[in-house]
Structure 1
Amino acid sequence: MRRITDILNLKEGEDDRARTLENVKKNIEFKGANLWILACAIIVASVGLNVNSTAVIIGAMLISPLMGPILGAGFALGIYDFKLLKKSLKNLLNATAVSLTVSTLYFYLSPFKDVQSELLARTSPNIYDILIAFFGGIVGVIAITRAEKGNPIPGVAIATALMPPLCTAGYGIATSQWTFFLGAFYLYCINCVFIGIATFLIIKYLNYPAVKQVDEKQQKRVKFIIAFLITAMLLPSGYLAFSLYREQQFKKNVELFIENEFSSKGYTVVYKKTDFNPKKKKIELAFLSKRFDSLEIKALKDKINDNQYLKGAYLFIRQDTTDRFNALKGDILSQIKGSENEMNLKDVKIMQLEKQLAANKFDSKQLLKESRALFPSIISLSITKSTLTTQKDSLIPLTAVIYDSPRSLSIPDQEKLRNWLNQRLMVKDVELFKKQ
């Protein structure tokens, strides 16, 4: 038992307590060099978020001096130095205000305001962020109380990210996206509170002496404030963590459902969209050639409701309602069992359809509607029969499809669109071109 106590002993290698306290007090100040470093770190972090560069964001976290007043506040609570606590909180508030101002100004002036993955990663805090902040804070306060500081401080700065959430909050203000601001600022508050609480607990464990005699009433007040802050941060983040788990399970089971019910049966899915909303979950699909009747759709919906993670999800299968040329031909041929006059009439209709295709008279308006059902970003469509002439004077027939879209379709989407058009137009030579 004594050996275990020796192994877990934090007092071994501890620095002089007066010196430690002096260093803590020195690092809570935000003026002169510290203020310049903070402003520059905020700009570096904002640029990293703007261009989606993880390396730049990590660099900004390493040079950020924001940990100082947070550790100072936890330290002050641990030794009941309310003057130091007030000073720490005041400096933290000033640093937060400066950081928000600088990041908001940067994103307001920046011509690039697209939402990047690094920005999105800071808008949905959960219980895991609390664990990172708490245990990172423990490492941080242990490190500053050691005579040999070692290497933990840079790692703590990266793990308990303070700069990126503040910059994301500034992005939310600059672009008036208040959900971004609230989510990112909540993450920042989580980090501040739990780093401070971790500092308080370690300082109490190390038995740092109180700066003055504190009565029991004051001690109870401090404990109540800490308990309130823990509860205020735990409840929303716990709910968000549970919501994240449910969303991941929903997406995973949607993939399994598509694989078991469609892909394994040879049906090609050309469009998939899922929407996870606890009140109204939605699965939207479209297929290359398979068409489902009402009984098949009902059976699929029943299977969805039998899955605990998909239960209640609305299944919508996009199917164009117009008869394709090949379907129309099949229908006409199947009905040529009547009189000779009817047969001649339907032969004429088939010839007319074939001539329409040969004459390049595609129903572009209807095709645009159908293609937008599968690819909503397409805003215009032009289809023409053409011939490609090569250097050897050989002629290669092709069906040229020119589409207009705010952004280029991805390579997989282009392949899906090409396959669909070949099937829809009953050709095998569709070539796609984006309108310049």
Structure 2
Amino acid sequence: MNRFLVGLRDLFNLHTDKERDAKTIESIEKNVSFKGANAWILAFAILIASIGLNINSTAVVIGAMLISPLMGPIMGAGLSLGINDFELFKRSLINLLFTTVISLITSTLYFVITPIDAAQSELLARTFPTIYDVLIAFLGGLAGIVAATRMEKGNAIPGVAIATALMPPLCTAGYGLATSQWLFFLGAFYLYLINCVFICLATLLIVKYLKFRKKEYVDEEQGRKVRRIISIIVTVMLIPSIYLAYTLVIENRYRENAAKYLEETFEENDHPILYKKINYRSDPKTIEVAVLNKVYTPEEIQANEKRMLKYGLKGTKLVMRQSDDTAFDANAFKASILQEFLKRDKTEPLSAQEQALLKVAPAAVANLYPTNNIASEANALFSEVKHLSIADHINFGADSTMKPDTLTVVTVGIDKQMPKKQQVQLEAWLQKRIQHKCVVWFRLEQ
């Protein structure tokens, strides 16, 4: 047993193959400063990442993260706190601030001039931090500083740059500034700060664990003052970080419970979910949902709301988005669903939700309009009518700033030409009958 424990200790011994402290410090210090080539590389990396986010290309974003030099000042700050080097800490913070400002300006300018201003999935993924982002930043920081302290650096540093993803949140923040979407800016910049803080903390912990030689001061009083300042900085970083991690764990648990509630309440009862939105930060918390094949009564909505207590969703309001909701833009909603189908990668298999939507599509269209016996009723009023079809089409404006909308088109098959007056009467009758504005197209069939 002792031999096994000794072998295990040797296997995970970080002092094996450890580079000399002075050389590691010199290497990290060299990457702290941004001037000359580093500044140009940063600007190019930001532009590449912005383009990748803009065209929704994961490969391009990864390429930008590989060449980004943003890790240098963050690791420098963590190292400086571990060895009591206040001058290095100040230099690291100044350079981190400089790189952050340059990155924001560059990405903002790009998104101001780009003709593609829609938020793609790669952008949206960087607008809201989760507990997983904290874990990735912390573990990535650990891997980064461990690799930096080795004689053979290996390929860990590029991998850390990709995993911690410092560049994309900054570009997304620039997109938020360029388009005046302040929630995008705040969420993305918050994610960037989380990454910086937890990479810095991870670096500090490994430096302390490896017992790097602390900086000595000739004046003992100055040394004590520096140590006090460093201790205050570490405390100021650590306490909010613990609180942040705790709140993100609570929020993540809430979202998981909400997802389980939606699945067991609606999906498992053959009511596929078209739309869902979990508003954790609203007061009160709300869960918005729209389903197919069902219009819920106020009593049913209240019963479903009470079910939330079983899932730990106390104090949450259920908002059903359905056809009788005057505050709900049904046309824009239907357009957004159709757009999602059009934008999806055709090489990827259909998700469970998409398969459910396709299965119930005919029934869903039938439920959008009260069309029972509508063709026979039209024929009774206008003998020329032989059949009709109703479909929603996506209507795109020539101006890219206009939101897409749906246009309802009714195609009426007639066996002989109808007088203009009767066409107007039939169109008016159809709009009242389907309770929806529509465009009527007459097709003469011989």
Asked whether the two chains share a fold, i.e. TM above 0.5, the reply is yes
Equivalent in the alignment of 2:364: none
User: What CA distance in whole angstroms lies between the structure 2 residues aligned with 1:114 and 1:39?
Assistant: 23
1:219 to 218, 223, 227: 227
Equivalent pair of 2:412/2:441 in contact (CA under 8 Å): no
Counterpart check, 1:228 vs 2:236:
yes
1:283 to 279, 283, 289: 289
Shift of the alpha carbon at 1:26? 1.2
Q: Within 5 Å, give how 1:374-393 maps onto structure 2.
A: 377-386=405-414
Q: Within 5 Å, give how 1:132-143 maps onto structure 2.
A: 132-143=136-147
Shift of the alpha carbon at 1:157? 0.9
Structure 1 window deviating more from structure 2 (306-315 vs 197-206): it is 306-315
Counterpart check, 1:243 vs 2:268:
no
Change (3 A) 1:149 1:317: closer
1:210-231 CA distances to partner (integer Å, 9 max, x unpaired)?
A: 1214755643442332232233
User: What CA distance in whole angstroms lies between the structure 1 residues aligned with 2:368 and 2:49?
Assistant: 51
Structure 2 residue identity aligned to 1:313: L
User: What CA distance in whole angstroms lies between the structure 2 residues aligned with 1:56 and 1:84?
Assistant: 33
Equivalent pair of 1:46/1:106 in contact (CA under 8 Å): yes
RMSD: 3.9
Aligned length: 356
Give unmatched runs, 5+ long, in structure 1. 264-268, 330-349, 388-420
User: What CA distance in whole angstroms lies between the structure 1 residues aligned with 2:91 and 2:409?
Assistant: 65
Shift of the alpha carbon at 1:99? 0.7
Q: Within 5 Å, give how 1:112-151 maps onto structure 2.
A: 112-151=116-155
Compute the TM-score of the two structures, normalised by the length of structure 1.
0.71
Change (3 A) 1:50 1:356: same
Equivalent pair of 2:137/2:194 in contact (CA under 8 Å): yes
Equivalent in the alignment of 1:313: 318
1:138-191 CA distances to partner (integer Å, 9 max, x unpaired)?
A: 111111111111121111111111111111111111111111111111111111
Equivalent in the alignment of 1:71: 75
Shift of the alpha carbon at 1:377? 3.4
Structure 1 residue identity aligned to 2:275: K
Shift of the alpha carbon at 1:57? 0.6
Compute the TM-score of the two structures, normalised by the length of structure 2.
0.69
| Aligned structure 1 segments of 4 or more residues deviating by more than 6 angstroms | 319-323, 361-364, 430-433
Equivalent in the alignment of 2:383: 358
SS at match of 2:274: strand
SS at match of 1:313: strand
Equivalent in the alignment of 2:427: none
SS at match of 2:129: coil
Structure 2 residue identity aligned to 1:44: I
Shift of the alpha carbon at 1:237? 5.0
Structure 2 residue identity aligned to 1:219: R
Change (3 A) 1:128 1:223: farther
User: What CA distance in whole angstroms lies between the structure 1 residues aligned with 2:193 and 2:153?
Assistant: 27
Shift of the alpha carbon at 1:431? 11
1:315-373 CA distances to partner (integer Å, 9 max, x unpaired)?
A: 4653799976649x9xxxxxxxxxxxxxxxxxxxx9x8643253349999xx999x99x
SS at match of 2:275: strand
Equivalent in the alignment of 2:195: 191
Q: Within 5 Å, give how 1:21-420 maps onto structure 2.
A: 21-213=25-217, 215=223, 218-262=226-270, 272-278=274-280, 279=284, 280-287=286-293, 298-299=299-300, 301-307=302-308, 308-309=310-311, 312-315=317-320, 317-318=322-323, 326=373, 354-360=379-385, 377-386=405-414
Change (3 A) 1:275 1:76: closer
Change (3 A) 1:205 1:275: closer
Give unmatched runs, 5+ long, in structure 2. 325-366, 396-403, 416-430
User: What CA distance in whole angstroms lies between the structure 2 residues aligned with 1:322 and 1:382?
Assistant: 12
